[in-house]
Amino acid sequence: MTKLPIIIDTDPGIDDAMMLTLAFANDDALDVRLVTTCSGNISQNKTNYNARAFLSYIGADVEIARGLEKPIFRELEVAEDIHGESGFGNVQFPEPSLPVSERQAVTAMLETIMMSDEKMTIVATGPLTNVAALLLAHPEVKPKIERISWMGGAAVGGNMSPTAEFNAYVDPHAVEIVFRSGVPIVMSGLDVTHKAFVTPDEAKDILNIGTEFAEKAYHLVTYYLDVMKKTPFHEENYDQVLHFHDVCAVMYLLNPDIFKGQDCYVEVALEGTTAGTTVVDYTNRTGKTANVHVLHTVNREKFVKEFLKAVKIISDRLK
């Protein structure tokens, strides 16, 4: 089986850790050649540390490069209220053995893509700052990128404002650069990620695997429940189930058949009260050529089954 070569750009973050679990558990299908960290859920210092700590803990051998400190034109807004001050709720991992790369993220991405004999796929599960900087500074990489699988945006309803999803809201200018790049994009927005959830009973299946890693994964994801019960909004039974937003960006690459989506023209609002809103032209009212494949539906039962399998694989490796 030919492996799909990928770069992961991430801001760990609880669901980012679960996304990394899925990616590295499926190393028979995915060839993760580089991990870069973006500023989003928490600051760059914390996201880079968390990526190195988590990937060191699960035994991954991969370069981890530090990304840009803040969005292109806006001040960084983080989500420590959702992910905890550390980004990992109440869960701690040992000091990382994986070092910070000597290469900065954009340089590492550029060189990894240009040196590859095959087209590369970028998985992005945070604000698109690093990816936008790459495409803007080095447009020569575009023909060598197979696609960008991004968790972000929303067609209907946001989680940072009535219309804007967090990753798009943090750096809307980066979204615009990426969406106008001509590179194929798959968008796992809130429309599909709200349907990619695990129930508390299903989360207990993680705990019942019975390993230290499974226990940590369980306490990571269940941290969300207590947080959501204290928030002023409760859309899509947020305080009753566990949403695995970022996992969708990798799950789509592994199991595209469990998702349904539509090619649409999508643009993003840059300023004002609607900043970060991804406007999805589902009905082709604009007449503009589609630039994004927008996911809207997932087979939740198969999604959960594949995720639990990944936790079991990593658990078995660490025994």
Do 13 and 83 meet the contact criterion of CB atoms below 8 Å apart? yes
**Tens of pLDDT along 110-120?**
999 999 999 99
Q: State the pLDDT confidence band at 227, using cuts at 50, 70 and 90.
A: low
Task: Show the tokens assigned to 55.
Answer: 């990937």
pLDDT of the residue at 237: 60
pLDDT of 12 > 80? The answer is: yes
The active-site residue out of 173, 243, 245, 296 is 245
Residues 6+ apart with CB under 8 A from 195: 297, 298, 300
pLDDT of the residue at 274: 96
Q: State the pLDDT confidence band at 89, using cuts at 50, 70 and 90.
A: confident
Taking the C-alpha atoms of residue 21 and residue 40, their distance in angstroms, rounded to an integer, is 19
- Exposure letters 244-263 (e unless 16+ CB within 10 A, then b): bbbbbbbbbbbbeebbebee
Do 145 and 122 meet the contact criterion of CB atoms below 8 Å apart? yes
Q: State the pLDDT confidence band at 145, using cuts at 50, 70 and 90.
A: very high
pLDDT of the residue at 243: 86
As a whole number, mean pLDDT of residues 240-258 equals 94
As a whole number of angstroms, the longest Cα–Cα distance in the chain is 55
Select the more confidently predicted residue: 103 or 228: 103
Taking the C-alpha atoms of residue 209 and residue 213, their distance in angstroms, rounded to an integer, is 9
pLDDT of the residue at 44: 94
Determine whether 245 is an active site residue. Answer: yes
Residue 85 half-sphere exposure toward CB, CA atoms < 13 A: 0
Domain of residue 164 covers: 4-317
Fill in the DSSP letter of residue 105: H
Select the more confidently predicted residue: 178 or 85: 178
As a whole number, mean pLDDT of residues 35-59 equals 96
- Quote the number of domains for the chain: 1
What is the value of pTM for the model shown? 0.95
As a whole number, mean pLDDT of residues 3-12 equals 97
pLDDT of 233 > 60? The answer is: no
pLDDT of the residue at 238: 58
Do 237 and 267 meet the contact criterion of CB atoms below 8 Å apart? no
95: domain CATH number?
A: 3.90.245.10
Taking the C-alpha atoms of residue 308 and residue 302, their distance in angstroms, rounded to an integer, is 10
Residue 256 half-sphere exposure toward CB, CA atoms < 13 A: 8
Q: Minimum mean pLDDT among 112-121, 176-185, 237-246: which range?
A: 237-246
Question: Residues of the chain with pLDDT > 70: what percent?
Answer: 95
